[in-house]
Structure 1
Amino acid sequence: MAYQEVNISDLQPGSYVVQVLQQSGDIVVKHAGWVRTRQAIEILRKKGVKVVLIDPEKAITTAPATPPAEPIAPAEDFAPRVLFADEWPRAEKTLLQTQRVQRQMLDAVRSDNHIDLTLVHEVSAGLAESISRNQDVLLCLNRIAEQSDSLLQHSISCAVYMAAFARYLNLPSHKVQSLITAALLHDIGKAISPDYLQMADHLAIPASLNALQKTAKLAGEVSLWISQHCAHLDGSGVPKIAARQIEKGSRMLAIVNAYEKLTASLAPKLGPLAASRQLLERTPHQLDAELLQLFIKCIGIYPPGSVVKLSSGKLALVLENNAKKPLLPKVKVFYHSVHQHHIPPKILDLSRQQEEQIDSCVDLKKFGLDVKNYI
């Protein structure tokens, strides 16, 4: 059953709220959760919540006699990290749903039809939820996914990176959702003509904004971030505006967009480490230095899904970041590049041993291997 938009005045006890769609103020609320009593709904109303997105399938039909009267709380208060293996099937389902919806969005623009924002909200919420449970899983899945449609792949990858980035910055849930939406839609105008795919990004912004103008209930900040994501802090980008005029969301989108273009799985130009170094060279004149440093910390020096060569010559798939020791993530070894043969797969936490270190990132295709066979 599809998610439903509900005004706060129509919200019923027992509803499962996926996200807050409209609210006044800057209130941090949980990305998902049940509202069990009318008192809880009233608290949300007093905090400025106006419209929410609910999942009818998760509704509680019979509320307990004396449930706690509390509002939706910040996710980090009670959301422990889900194990990598447990999150994998859920993240895989979320990514497949996002791919289906994004195809529909691109097809709608190609046919000059309206974009169904309800579907966009639904997949944005799904991405945010998966990231909150264990961001490494979705980052890994997205990196190894390959689509023949480069525009589709780029927009989804940007959305996944943005979901992780926004949550890492501990932004309010409604802001996280809007940023994911902006990442999904920032190049939507390129679907109008394949010529746009060969042009500089800023040339397609008017087409993207024109397509979004036909869409009802799109937050104005989403269009603003999209319109500014090719601006540079020194005023040399497009539009030519001063740094103080460039919104934080626009700066984040610029970083995510640039990083994905350098590391895209369809035709990677640079490995993750080299891409990060190149982007750092663009600070502080073009990109926000502080935000870029935080983004790199968020996704890792060797993002999940990357393939690395260890000091022994063994190849390994990066599974999980290590926030305290970013050069020593958890990996899965599977092949020996020197002896050119497969080895028994083994999970290795590089931070818990001294024998192996990462030597470099590698393109597995150069060895005639497909990373999907080693998940």
Structure 2
Amino acid sequence: MAYQEVSITDLQPGSYVVQVLKQTGEVIVKHAGWVRTSDAIAMLRNKGVQILLIDPDKKLPTAPIDTPLTTFDTPEDPTTKVAFSNEWPKAERALLQTQKVQRQLLDAVRHDSNIDLTLVHEVSAGLADSISRNQDVLLCLNRIAEQSDNLLQHSISCAVYMAAFARYLNKPTHKIQSLITAALLHDIGKAINTTNLTAEDYVAIPASLNALQKTNDLAGEISLWISQHCAHLDGSGSPKISAPQIAKGSRMLAIVNSYEKLTSPLTSKLGPLAASRLLLERTPHKLDAELLQLFIKCIGIYPPGSVVKLVSGKLALVLENNAKKPLLPKVKVFYHSVHQHHLPPKILDLSRQQEELIESCVDLKKYGLDVRNYI
């Protein structure tokens, strides 16, 4: 069942809150978890919470009367990593739903219709949940996704990268979801005018902000991040502001936007390693050096979904990062580039052996092969 938007007056004990959509006041509350008691709901109301997004499929049968008056309980242990194969179908559903909603969003903008941000919040929460369980799966799925609509794929890829990046920085749940939403919305102005598709990114920012002004459910910080994501730390970007004025969320969005553009199969020939090196050259004048280093550590030198050539000549699909040994991820070997024949699929943890190392990233299309056949 889809998430439901409810007012604080309609919120019931035992509900599972996905996100706070609207609130007043200066107190920031957590945006995910169970609301167990009427007293907890009263506390939310006192803190200015007005509208929430709940998951009607999650409902506690009873609410203990001795529950402490915290805002929400933490729903999951973030340190528990779900197995790759178990997360795959869940991540696939989350990605397909995001693609569906993003198409609707871009169509609405093209026809000057109102944007349904409830659906955007829903898919943002879904991506955040998948990343929290096992980020490698969603990163892998997104990278091997069939490419057709560049604007659609760019925004979704940015959202996936942002989800992983924000969680890696230990952002609170509500902030992660807001950053994902910003990534999904940052280029919607390009859908209004096709000439914007080939123009510099900053050209479409006014159109994006104008489209977003038609809804009352968008947090101001999301608009701020979008408005600043083409700014440079040295003041040379657009708008003409410098480091002290550029929000951290804007800096993060600038990094994921730049990385996706450099590594997209539709717009670039660069591999992940070459793209990372190029982005490092843009620090500290244009991009935040510290944040960029953290982003590269987060997604890996060879991100999940990349195809690599090993020193033996074997080709392999990267499945999982290795945070401690980023040059030695877990891969699936499937083809020999020298002998030009398929190999029995084999999962290989490069950090647990000494025979194989990664030589380079490769474009599998050069071998006449489709990466989706080797999942």
Contact 2:205–2:227 (Cα < 8 Å) also in 1: yes
Contact 1:230–1:254 (Cα < 8 Å) also in 2: yes
- Whether 2:106 is the aligned partner of 1:106: answer yes
SS of residue in 1 equivalent to 2:82: coil
Contact 2:14–2:63 (Cα < 8 Å) also in 1: no
Match of 1:173 in 2: 173
Match of 1:4 in 2: 4
Question: Please, which moves more after superposition, 292-301 or 264-273?
Answer: 264-273
Question: Please, which moves more after superposition, 307-316 or 62-71?
Answer: 62-71
Alignment of 1:110-259 (within 5 A): 110-259=110-259
Match of 2:369 in 1: 369
| Per-residue deviation, 1:133 | 0.6
- Whether 2:72 is the aligned partner of 1:72: answer yes
- Whether 2:317 is the aligned partner of 1:317: answer yes
Residues 75, 326 of structure 1: CA spacing in aligned structure 2 closer, same or farther, 3 A cutoff?
A: farther
**Aligned residue identity for 1:206:** P
Residues 185, 64 of structure 1: CA spacing in aligned structure 2 closer, same or farther, 3 A cutoff?
A: closer
> TM-score, normalized by length of structure 2?
0.94
| Per-residue deviation, 1:78 | 5.6
Match of 2:38 in 1: 38
> TM-score, normalized by length of structure 1?
0.94
Question: Please, which moves more after superposition, 46-55 or 271-280?
Answer: 46-55
Contact 1:28–1:74 (Cα < 8 Å) also in 2: no
Aligned length: 373
| Per-residue deviation, 1:38 | 2.5
Match of 1:347 in 2: 347
| Offset from partner CA, 1:132-178 (integer Å, 9 cap, x none) | 01111000000000231100000000000011111111112221111
**Aligned residue identity for 2:125:** A
Contact 2:2–2:55 (Cα < 8 Å) also in 1: yes
SS of residue in 2 equivalent to 1:86: helix
After superposition, the CA RMSD in angstroms is: 1.8
Contact 1:190–1:196 (Cα < 8 Å) also in 2: yes
| Offset from partner CA, 1:62-115 (integer Å, 9 cap, x none) | 316667445424466466111110000000000000000000000001111111
C-alpha separation in 2, matches of 1:92 and 1:336? 29
Contact 2:36–2:64 (Cα < 8 Å) also in 1: no
| Per-residue deviation, 1:43 | 5.0
| Per-residue deviation, 1:51 | 3.2
| Per-residue deviation, 1:370 | 0.2
Unaligned runs of 5+ in 1: none
**Aligned residue identity for 2:191:** A
Contact 1:139–1:160 (Cα < 8 Å) also in 2: yes
Match of 1:63 in 2: 62
| Per-residue deviation, 1:46 | 5.8
Contact 1:259–1:275 (Cα < 8 Å) also in 2: yes
